[in-house]
């Protein structure tokens, strides 16, 4: 995953909202969200078929979500490297960064949200930092939590998400009815895929491989439950569907 947008409002009936855009090589196989992991039977997420893990996991019973972004820094030694795809599963189950040998993982950013707030752990291959996100709209990208406007995506989309009305209460209607303006924004807001500010993009590399936004996720956490919506065709606002969490 390359972009996560988080809205935190502790006083709201739906205090945590998360949008995640997953960017990956189009040749890497994956499956849409479901319960795939016997070791974590309560967790739901999309499955990466190459390594078996996920980029985002939801724990409906505990009103929790964990999302992973690749970070920047010193990679793990090849002989000791583990897939980062197990981190969202373990974090969603534990509610925090699991006790792991960090040196076995390439750099990452791990966002964990629950009714007690949203925390971010960033590992650069040498040290780990922890932050608790305050009330407001926040964007995390591959460089980390972007507080300023140096990143063109952040500069364009953070104000747009901040201005979009938040869902006032949990509901079971269509994604468009529940999320309102969050759906077109999370779908890229109509920007061309090659725009430098694009939230949803597609890039053909020099060797012919294609790196692109493959899916988008929206998650809402509240005392009443979890709302989980998924789009397997980023940019197409009609492709959104609600993921069953019961």
| pTM tops 0.95, yes or no | yes
CATH number of domain containing 94:
3.60.60.10
Q: What is the pLDDT along the chain (246 residues), one digit of tens a residue?
A: 689 999 999 999 999 999 999 999 999 999 999 999 999 999 999 999 999 999 999 999 999 999 999 999 999 999 999 999 999 999 999 999 999 999 999 999 999 999 999 999 999 999 999 999 999 999 999 999 999 999 999 999 999 999 999 999 998 899 999 999 999 999 999 999 999 999 999 999 999 999 999 999 999 999 999 999 999 999 899 999 999 998
Neighbour count for residue 194 (Cβ, 10 Å): 10
Rounded-to-integer distance, Cα 90 and Cα 43, Å: 10
pLDDT tens figures, 164-206:
999 999 988 999 999 999 999 999 999 999 999 999 999 999 9
Q: How many CA atoms lie within 13 A of 213 on its CB side?
A: 24
Residue with tokens 């040498």: 126
Point out which residues pair with 22 in neighbouring strands: 215
Tell me: the pLDDT tens digits for 115-128?
999 999 999 999 99
Q: Quote the domain boundaries for residue 129.
A: 3-242
- Please tell me the total count of domains within the chain: 1
Decide: 230 and 32 in contact? Cβ < 8 Å.
yes
């Amino acid at each position: 995953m390359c972009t996560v947008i988080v809205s935190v409002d502790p006083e709201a009936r739906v205090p945590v909202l998360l949008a995640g855009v997953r960017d990956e090589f189009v040749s890497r196989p994956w499956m849409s969200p479901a319960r795939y992991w016997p070791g974590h039977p309560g967790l739901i997420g999309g499955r990466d078929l190459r390594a078996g893990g996920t980029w985002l996991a939801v724990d409906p019973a505990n009103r929790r979500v964990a999302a992973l972004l690749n970070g920047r820094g010193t990679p793990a030694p090849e002989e000791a490297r583990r897939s980062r795809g197990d981190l969202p599963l373990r974090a969603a189950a534990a509610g925090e960064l699991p006790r792991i040998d960090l040196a076995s993982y390439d750099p990452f950013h791990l966002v964990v949200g629950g009714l007690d707030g949203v925390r971010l752990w960033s590992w650069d291959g040498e040290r780990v930092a922890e932050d608790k996100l305050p009330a407001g709209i926040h964007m995390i990208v591959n460089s980390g939590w972007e507080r300023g406007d140096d990143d063109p995506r952040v500069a364009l989309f953070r104000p747009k998400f901040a201005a979009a009305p938040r869902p006032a209460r949990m509901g079971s209607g269509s994604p468009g009815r529940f999320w309102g303006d969050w759906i077109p924004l999370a779908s890229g807001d109509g920007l061309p895929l090659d725009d430098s500010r694009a939230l949803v993009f597609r890039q053909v590399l020099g060797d012919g491989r294609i790196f692109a936004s493959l899916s988008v996720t929206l998650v809402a956490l509240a005392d009443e439950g979890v709302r989980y919506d998924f789009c397997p065709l980023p940019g197409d606002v009609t492709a959104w569907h609600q993921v069953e969490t019961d």
